[in-house]
Structure 1
Amino acid sequence: MAAFIFLIALFTLMATAPPAYAAAALLITVDRSGKGDYRKIQDAIDAVPSNNKELVFITGNDSGNIIESATLTVLASDFVGRYLTIQNTFRKHGVQAVALRISGDRLAFFGCRILGYQDTLLDETGRHYYRNCYIEGAVDFICGNAASLFEITGERTAILGRPWGPYSRVVFALTYVSNIILPRGWDDWGDASKPSTVFYGEYKCYGAGANVSQRVEWSQNLSVEEIELFLTKNISGCRSWIRSTPKHFKKSFAAISNNSTQHS
């Protein structure tokens, strides 16, 4: 089985705490050419002290189990990923192969590429925010139980969503929807009882795929009053915890300075 591919040239792990706890982020740079702190991602992970609150696991390409197959798993809270490419290269229909699994609270991803085939992004639990990210997959490529806000685009043929479990809630608002979205919009996953508990809605979307005239009867075309809650970042509380890009960095791991001397 081939190893997973990490396509970014520079990997930055920012072990950041909320502003009240830290004035500067801890910056570790991985560069295969030897110009960073480490040449390998795993070496950077191994350098983090065992008592550090930021827990990140990097594994190889795997499949068959939605929890254990992830290329990258983030269990800690207050993690920020910027400009990362995370990929699970396993491709077989009907077999789960997660690229990114996130289960911490208050996680944000900016400009990231998350690539896989089935169940690409397991947005498992917690409150999460995605902006300008590219998420690719063929089957259920975004799934999970988290309260998340996505500001992303898409392509190819797809539906807007289907209920993995009861009380699934998905809303598309003020979104450009191309003709990749099938006219029915949503799917009940072959269980006629599931639509009774879901909340699937659209509000003032536009584009060739935004025509709601052929949507399933249990989806909703939301009113101004109904959409108000969803048009702010309060849906995941992220307005209070999303932090701007750090401008000041520090290096405190002794292992970094020791390792850097090996690059000369």
Structure 2
Amino acid sequence: MKTSVNNYGKIEKQGQDEIKPRRFGKKHYMFLGLLVFFLGVAIACLAVGLGKVLSKHNGASSVQSEAKAIESICSNTLYPETCVHSLSSFPGAINASGLKLVAISIRIGMEGINSAMQSVENFIQEQGDHTVSLALNDCVELLEYSLDGLDSSLTKLLQLNSDDISDLQTWLSSSLTYQSTCLDGLDDVEGLDYIMEQGKNVSMLLSNSLALIKNFPMLVGDSESPSHSRRLLSDEGNSPRLPRWVWETEQRFLLEEKSLVPDVVVALDGSGNYSRIQDAVDAAPQSNNQSYVIHIKAGVYEENVIISKKMTNIVFIGDGTKSTIISGSKNVQIGLSVYRSATVAVDGNGFIARDLSIENRSGPKKMQAVALRVSADQTAFYNCTFKGYEGTLYSHTFRQFYKECTIFGTVEFIFGNSAAIFQNCSLVALKPLPGQNNTCTAQAKSDPNQNTGFSFQKCKVDGTPELLSTGNFSTYLGTPLKQYSSTVFIHSHLSKVVHPAGWLTPNKDLLLDEVFMGEFQSEGPGSEVSERVNWSKQLSDKQASSFNADDFISASKWLPLTHIKFDEMP
């Protein structure tokens, strides 16, 4: 049977009972088989585990009252009509508990993504334009990653630990970000009206699931409320708390204060195990629960490096930011998407890098050219330098941490929709092209329920001597990319390069009262706020404290093991 999404994201009856397998190449069949199998097991487990709760509701409430319950739950979403239609049409939803309704909502989103992927793949087969085909293939990959986030969320729902809510919100936020990135990449492609409309419907489904997760405590009763009984490894002896991706494993690097002992060495002169970084990455164990340390000796490595989704817990250690340099030159001018232009692309969770530089040497005339793209959870960077012009650091999605790093650029040189904290970092503006406005950040939060944003704490905003010598060096702290963009500068030093307005008003139709761009107790000649744009904010103590490392990126769950020190409060 074929699954389709009609208006309001409603799953048609012919797609309620099963999801048609997508026609992929051989490498996809195993993934899809496991996915479909897992979905069946997950929903079956939910049905069994919640049997008592469901039986209590069945017979005690009428169909009419249960329908009103769905309407009540959906009233907290951005798209309540879509929510009601999609949930009411799903078998068993009318009598389901709050918990199972959340699971059903996620399942419906997964079905919608599968249908959208089928449409995109069908269009690829009919497409003769190479550039368009690249964008469509990007979209397929992004949708697969979106599915992965939903898959993780559905799994976590079965465990119901109280401090898993932030993980659920993170994974659903990332799924929506991947979906949005897909649609952004197809925005200028003609003839995709049906796919774009279908994609927007799926975005509404994901948004509704995210809203249900954010309001999770209000949706469930005491019998379904998350348990506080999770047993941490720190309860067993003196081991520090471990992040999810290393639970029940030994971390010889992360648990020891001793000098790092690399698993492999990369050296251009042939003195190591490999002369190319990518070869060392490819040789690492896949889906690894232990850190895999790659020492990259001094040298300029002219290559593009991809840390794929299966390459987890990879650690890059360089010989210093002026000694170990990874250099690339991909850019959008040669027909690549921004997503594909990165010199180093990180998709594997748990990635750590320190003491090295990553650059995109394309130059200012090549438009967007990414040095580093990070699309992975619980990643950390210490004493790293990222060099580029437009779009240097693509902080795409998930939770990220940067400490004592330096980022160079011109236009929107830190952008994306992650939850990222930058502590003691330097943002250095370069000389832009004539007519360009230097903007440090361009955050892309598209939904108010996403737990994403950029937080710069004790950072420095400055310009290069070349920029300062021009006398026309105005640089903005940022500009909003999406409706709910969120960026804050806290206790930072803002030099004279910062424009008195502080923030750049975008040339797009956004409701600026919905964006969250603010400052808190910064200092320096650029910190004077009397001429700031009226839609920016001066944060209260409470607002600033909400960006602390624990609340914003769950830092204490994983950062201690990286041995990168962090300040808990801004």
Taking structure 1 as the reference length, the TM-score comes to 0.79
Query: Structure 1 residues 111 and 38 mapped into 2: Cα distance closer, same or farther (>3 Å)?
Result: same
- Summarize the Cα distance change of 1:84–1:146 in structure 2 as closer, same or farther, 3 Å threshold: same
Structure 2 CA distance for partners of 1:129 and 1:220, relative to 1, 3 Å: same
How much does 1:30 deviate? 1.1
In structure 1, C-alpha distance between the alignment counterparts of 2:389 and 2:525, rounded to whole Å: 26
Alignment of 1:45 onto 2:281:
yes
Q: CA deviation at 1:44?
A: 1.1
Q: Which has the larger radius of gyration?
A: 2
| 1:188–1:194 Cα contact (<8 Å) kept | no
Between the aligned partners of 1:166 and 1:42, the Cα distance in structure 2 is 37
Distance 1:59 1:134, change over 3 A: closer
| Alignment partners' CA distance in 2, 1:23 and 1:232 | 23
* C-alpha distance in structure 2 between counterparts of 1:47 and 1:232, whole Å: 34
How many pairs were matched up? 229
Which of 263, 267, 286 is the matching residue for 1:31?
267
Query: Per the alignment, in what secondary structure is the counterpart of residue 524 of structure 2?
Result: coil
Give the counterpart letter for 2:495 in structure 1: S
Aligned to 2:392: 120
| Equivalent position amino acid for 1:175 in 2 | S
Residue 172 of structure 1, CA deviation: 0.8
User: Amino acid of the residue matched to residue 153 of structure 1?
Assistant: S
Structure 2 portions without partners, runs of 5+: 1-244, 254-261, 289-309, 315-325, 428-461, 464-472, 564-570
RMSD over aligned CA atoms reads: 2.2
Contact 1:110 1:133 in 2 (8 A): yes
The whole-number CA distance in structure 2 between the counterparts of 1:79 and 1:51 is 12
- What is the 5 A alignment of 1:6-155? 18=246, 20-25=248-253, 27-49=263-285, 52=288, 53-54=310-311, 60-64=328-332, 65-93=337-365, 95-151=367-423, 152-154=425-427, 155=462
More helix by share: 2
Q: 1:210 aligns with which of 519, 527, 537?
A: 527
Q: Match for 2:329: what amino acid?
A: N
1:191 matched to 2:448: no
Q: Deviations over 1:134-159 (max 9, x none)?
A: 11111111000001101112321421
Q: Which residue of 2 aligns with 1:4?
A: none
Q: State the 1:196 CA deviation.
A: 2.2
Q: Give 1:59 shift.
A: 9.1
User: Which position in structure 2 is the counterpart of 1:237?
Assistant: 554
- Aligned counterparts of 2:417 and 2:338: Cα–Cα separation in 1: 13
Higher strand share: 1
Cα distance in 2 between the residues matched to 1:51 and 1:201: 39
Q: Give how far 1:205 is off.
A: 0.4
Structure 1 pair 193/60, CA: closer, same or farther in 2 (3 Å)? Answer: closer
Deviation at 1:125, TM superposition (A): 0.5
- For 2:497 and 2:263, locate their aligned partners in 1 and report how far apart those are by CA, in whole Å: 39
Who is 2:497 aligned against? 180
Per the normalisation by structure 2, the TM-score is 0.38
1:237 CA displacement: 1.4
Whether the aligned pair in 2 keeps the contact of 1:18 and 1:241 (CA below 8 Å) is: no
Q: Distance in 2 between matches of 1:243 and 1:54?
A: 21
CA shift at 1:73, angstroms?
A: 0.5
Question: In structure 1, what is the Cα distance between the partners aligned to 2:281 and 2:490?
Answer: 38
CA shift for structure 1 position 63:
0.6
Q: Distance in 1 between matches of 2:327 and 2:268?
A: 18
2:479 aligns to what?
162
Question: Which deviates the most, 105-114 or 27-36?
Answer: 27-36
Aligned pair in 2 of structure 1 residues 167, 245: CA closer, same or farther (>3 Å)? closer
| Counterpart residue identity of residue 47, structure 1 | A
In structure 1, C-alpha distance between the alignment counterparts of 2:502 and 2:395, rounded to whole Å: 21
Partner Cα separation in structure 1 for residue 533 and residue 365 of structure 2: 26
Listed as ranges, the matches of 1:221-232 within 5 Å are: 221-232=538-549
Inter-CA distance 166–44: structure 2 relative to 1 (3 Å threshold): same
* Displacement of 1:101: 0.6
Give the direction of change, closer, same or farther, for the CA distance of 1:166–1:31 in structure 2 (3 Å limit).
same
Give the C-alpha shift of residue 50 in structure 1: 5.1
Task: Say which structure, 1 or 2, has more relative contact order (CA 8 Å, 6+ apart).
Answer: 1
In structure 2, what is the equivalent of residue 262 of structure 1?
none
Greater alpha carbon shift after TM alignment, 28-37 vs 153-162: 28-37
The CA deviation at 1:98 is 0.6
CA distance in 2, matches of 1:179, 1:94: 28
User: Matches of 1:62 and 1:94 in 2, distance apart?
Assistant: 9
Report deviation, 1:240: 1.6
* CA separation of 1:192 and 1:209: change in aligned 2, threshold 3 A: farther
Q: Which amino acid aligns with 1:90?
A: S
The question of whether the paired residues in 2 share the 8 Å contact of 1:127 and 1:238 is answered with: no
Shift of residue 51 of structure 1?
A: 5.6
Take 1:201 and 1:76, find their aligned partners in 2: how far apart are those partners? 31
Pairwise CA distance, 1:49 = 4.0
Contact 1:82–1:111, Cα closer than 8 Å, also in 2: yes
Output the amino acid matched with 1:147.
Answer: A
Give the distance between the partners of 1:176 and 1:20, measured in 2 at CA: 42
**2:328, 2:361 within 8 Å by CA — same for their partners in 1?**
no
Over 3 Å counting, the alpha-carbon distance change for 1:71 and 1:159 in structure 2 is: same
